[in-house]
Amino acid sequence: LSASLARVEGALKLRYMGIGFVWAWLYGAYYTPVILPNPEGLAINSDASWFASAVAVVAVFFLFGFWLRRTFRPRSWWVALAAATLAVGTVLTALGVWWGTAVSAIGGLATGVGYGLLSIFWAQALVAVDIDDLEVAIPLSALVVIPCVVTFPFLEGPVGVLAAASLPLVSGLLLLLCLGDCADASANDDGAPRGSAAAAVAIRRADRDDAAPLAWRYLIRVSALLCLVYVAVGWESALSVVDDAVHAALSLDLSTLLANAASLILAILFVFFSKRVSFAGLLRWIMPLAVVSLVLFVQVGNGSFYAALLASVCDVLAQILAFLFVVSLAKEGRVSAALGIGVVNGSLQFGVLLGNLLGVMAAGSSLTATALTCVLALAIIAIPQRDPSELSGDSGAGAVCQAASCCEVLRERYGLSEREAEIVELLAEGRTRPYIREKLFISNNTVATHIKHIYRKLDVHSKEELIDLVKSERAGA
């Protein structure tokens, strides 16, 4: 049994899926009655704790993202404190129902701080994980929400509160295991920048790379667009009824259940079969969905099952892919993981806050709905057409393999195929995997398989080692 579990864990990378427990906590805390029983409408706009939590999480993402931008590996006690803060805040929020608004607000502040810090720490830790593992683990993290959708609506009293409070503790434990894996990889390294050391090298490279400002302009632009999407999602959430017809008939939040399943499938298809994976590609999927969701919401009414389904798909898909893309950019040395996730998730959460406040103040005005729909539809033209790898050119590494002859020598010496030699040349030029996918018209799976074979044949473990090998070959030519 233990061997079978080990194989399953190795295939699914369960220890890297802890961010899913943070997402599951968000659903359980504010979309089910486990913490706030019998709310008037959705808990996200009927209790003081939500507003306190929303303000705190925006502040944490922006402020701590900037402060921790050069921290390459979170300390264990930081992780424990963040998880405990989110768990304690959950309990205080529940107690606020009986003890008053002040306790509820304190609980909300604690949950906002804990949620933001755990998200930042997960981004920092996952930078040290192989990209192939990330592209499996982060989309599959959405699976963690599904059991919560099925069970949390039926949990009551202390059992429900403890169940919700346990989610950040499990996330923190998995994060500590993930950090331990990275430390072991770094300790067993023979000098190549792997694990947390790789993150440090990547961030230092981002600091001195002329392309870094281009990546930041790109990141800020897509963050602003994501903020607009979440203003629309937040506005719908503020006005949605608790039970649409399907929800009432089945006593199950079917829209969220289907949204998580659909978003998981779409994320996997997007990551593994897209020749060009980028924030721009993400937005080209999500923004039209958000526009259609708004139109359905206005035309059918705030009890529309399909509007709720599309809004949930936008939400879950954006959470998955935005987290994956920020970590991928950090691995390439274009941004700091903490600052990147702080900017993106801070903008996202700020959009949720604005949307909910707009919904409460405008009370479902048709003028507000029309304005949101028009602004979001027009904003689609502002989606970047190129990703940072195209904007930045060769990333300073083009001189490594200006002539293909050195790669041809490596091909003959190590038995590389012609396609593998092409990929070696592109990697040595500093090209990213999305660029290689588009350049060679092959899928992500194919690129990942070729790179694994290349690393094994050349006996290297990272792009930096491969570049060093090509450099030494050119020097000896």
CA atoms within a 13 Å half-sphere pointing along the CA-CB vector of 60: 22
What's the residue count for the chain?
477
> Model-level pTM?
0.78
Domain boundaries for CATH 1.20.1250.20 within the chain:
2-389
Q: What is the CATH number of domain 2-389?
A: 1.20.1250.20
Which three-class secondary structure state does DSSP give residue 324?
A: helix
Angle between helices 254-273 and 444-458 (to 10 degrees): 50
**Integer Cα distance of 178 and 415 in angstroms:** 35
Which string of DSSP letters, residue by residue, matches 48-84? HHHHHHHHHHHHHHHHHHHHTTT--S--HHHHHHHHH
Tally of CA atoms within 13 A in the half-sphere of 97 that contains its CB: 17
> How far apart are alpha carbons 18 and 396 in whole angstroms?
35
Q: What is the pLDDT along the chain (477 residues), one digit of tens a residue?
A: 445 545 555 555 677 888 999 999 988 887 777 887 655 444 455 567 888 899 999 999 999 998 887 766 788 899 999 999 999 999 999 898 788 888 988 999 999 999 999 999 999 988 888 766 777 788 888 888 888 888 887 787 889 899 999 999 999 999 998 887 665 544 443 333 344 444 444 444 444 444 456 567 788 888 999 999 999 888 887 777 655 555 555 556 676 777 777 777 776 666 666 555 566 777 887 888 888 888 888 777 655 677 777 888 888 888 887 888 888 778 777 788 899 999 999 999 999 889 888 877 765 567 777 888 889 889 888 887 766 555 544 444 444 444 456 677 777 888 888 888 888 888 887 777 767 776 776 777 788 888 888 888 888 887 778 878 887 776 665
CATH architecture of 397-476: Orthogonal Bundle (1.10)
As a whole number of angstroms, the distance between CA 435 and CA 425 comes to 13
Chain region(s) in the chain for CATH 1.10.10.10:
397-476
Structure-block tokens of residue 348 = 């996202």
For residues 39 and 419, what is the distance between their CA atoms, to the nearest angstrom? 59
Q: How far is CA 157 from the centre of its chain?
A: 32
Give the Cα separation of 234 and 44 in Å (integer).
9
